[in-house]
Every structure is written in C-alpha cells, then in structure tokens.
A = this chain, B = another copy of it.
Amino acid sequence: MDVIITGGAGFLGKKLAAKLLERGHLSIGGFEPRPINRITLADITPATGLPADHRLQFRQVDITDFRAVQELIVPGTQAIFHLAAIVSADAEENFDLGMSVNFDGTRNILEAARRLGTTPGLVFASSVAVYGGDLPEVGNDELMLTPTTSYGTQKAMCELLVNDYDRKGFINGRAIRLPTIVVRPGKPNKAASTFASSILRDPLAGKTAICPVSADSKMFFLSPRRVINAFIKTMELPSASLGVLKRFTLPGISASIGEMAHTLEKVAGKETADKIQWIPDPHIQKIVSGWMPDYFAQRALGLGFEADENIEEIIRAHIEDEL
C-alpha cells in the first residue's frame, strides 16, 4: 500500500516514516495488514536527513492548493497521516495563515481522499488546544470543545469534519489530540510550548536554554516515541471500536517544569540542569497557565494507548534516540 504523511519535513513526520519503514506493513482500520510499498512525505518545506530507502520519497506540496493535494493523494493511496499545521503562536498571530493551512489545508486533504472513492484511512493530528477557558484540574473525555485560540478552533473544526467525512463513508477517519510532545529534537518552533523541549534538549547538548515560566507550572506531556506508536495504532484500530466519536485524547503525563529540571539534574548532573536560565515571560506564562495541566484519557487507555512512565523515561529516550 501507499502511505502519505503530511508535515513530512517535521521531526514527527520523519520519525513516523522511519518507524513504518522498519515495520514494513500497516493495517487500515483493523483490516488485514498489508506491505507498505511507498511512503510519501509531503511538506511545503524540503525535508533533510531522510533515510535512503527505495520505498521513501519526498514531495514538496502546499496543502492550501487543492490541485497540488489532488496530485499528491492519487489512486493507490490507502493511508494518510495528516500532521501538517501552522503551530499555536503562529496561528494566533497570523489568523488567515492558520485558517488557510490548518483548516482549508485539512479540508483539501479530506476532499482529495474522498474523491479517491476508496475510503482511505486517515489519522488527523489534533491537539489538547481544543480545550481552553475555565478548565478542570484534570481534563476528561466528556469535556466540551472550548478552544480559546485560533489554533485550537481550527483543530476542533477539523475534528468535526473528519468525523463527518468518516460517518459519510468518504474516509476511514480518526482524530487524536496530542499532548505537548517532549523532547522535540532540532530547533525551537513557534509553538508557545517550545521551551518545554528546549530546557531539556539544549542543556543536554551543552547549551543554555531559557525557561519563560515558573517552576510550578504544570503541563501535559508525551514523548516522540509514544506518539509515533499512537499514530500507527490509531490507523490500525477497528472503526467499530471507536463508536460514533472518531476523536479522542492521547494519554500523557502531567509534570511541573520544576520537576523536569530536577529530573534533568538527576539524569545528567547539576552542571547540565544549571544551564536552564529562569527568565519569566508573562506572555508565555499566561498562555501556558491557560492549558490543561492534566487529563484522564479514559477512552484512549481503554483502547490500549499508553503514556510514558515518567519524565525520566522521556529524557532517557531522548538521549538514546538523538544524542
């Protein structure tokens, strides 16, 4: 089968491709697994550092261009992982860009998938940013969609659309809400949460990092390893196991930023942890304080999804995978 990964130049897209190549097969919605013949990474930005594998190709595609999307999602496409997005702070600053990429781009992909007429599998990467405002200490699967950012609004709208495209039989669709992913390799991005990776990644690489929020700020995390497994597991889940709602939140772990710094010291020593510079930024603090610090992901846990054990596991996995 042919697999497409949008946002394919991003670190999650590349990791997902590597994992799928290693596995060599994939099931769509619980049907019999089939060998993967081709994986196409699609992104507006050229991808670098791709593994040499005859099954892997890169295509530069602007998902806001429907014709380009139709040239990407051609007959034979059986699985689409849609990860491409304008991240939170960028979508908030550039409303039209966010609407165009995050909403119209997703709609283009859904529509091109529908026009195949073969009900391809589609996993949409949503976000816990669909929740905002006056939130409980621990989120749960019964919460209303209450986004308080344009990014969260666009993700919530897309979740609804994925659900309807699935219900109509246009796609075999699912949307999963990702916790904050740590540790992101590479460079900081425009997500308001990017510091959570920087304060672990940069000190471990011998560089200083700025932490703009207080040590008692709590966030909800998942590691790259776990989220890659979750993308694949989501694609493979039988449709019936999801019922009417084809969307759910992945399990993660809740930790304070102070706990992260403390664990970094435990794993890599005081000198490393001291490379975190605590310089408060009220703007970032306000955004982070508006996020849900914890979530009881009952549905996903019932479906067999797993969170990381603790922050130490996340840091050690990063060292193993990236350093």
Contacts and interface: CB of A to CB of B under 8 A. Distances in A.
Contacts of A163: 147, 153
A18 interface: no
A167 B132 CA distance: 12
Interface string A142-173: 11111110100100110011011001100000
A186 interface: no
A156 to B, nearest CB: 5
Contact of A145 (B132, B134, B145): B145
A150 B162 CA distance: 11
A244 interface: yes
A244 B133 contact: yes
Contact of A157 (B142, B157, B244): B157
A150 B133 contact: no
B144 A153 contact: no
A245 interface: yes
Contact of A164 (B143, B150, B244, B245): B150
Contacts of A244: 132-134, 146, 148
A95 interface: yes
B143 A153 contact: no
Contacts of A168: 95, 150
Given A95-B168, A133-B245, A143 B144 contact: yes
Given A132-B244, A244-B132, A167 B148 contact: yes
Given A95-B168, A168-B95, A168-B150, A145 B160 contact: yes
Nearest to A96: B111
A132 B243 CA distance: 12
A216 to B, nearest CB: 24
B167 A161 contact: no
Interface in A159-198: 160-161, 163-164, 167-168
20 contacts: A95-B168, A133-B244, A142-B142, A143-B144, A144-B144, A144-B145, A145-B145, A145-B160, A146-B244, A147-B160, A147-B163, A148-B167, A148-B244, A150-B168, A153-B160, A153-B163, A156-B160, A157-B157, A157-B160, A157-B161
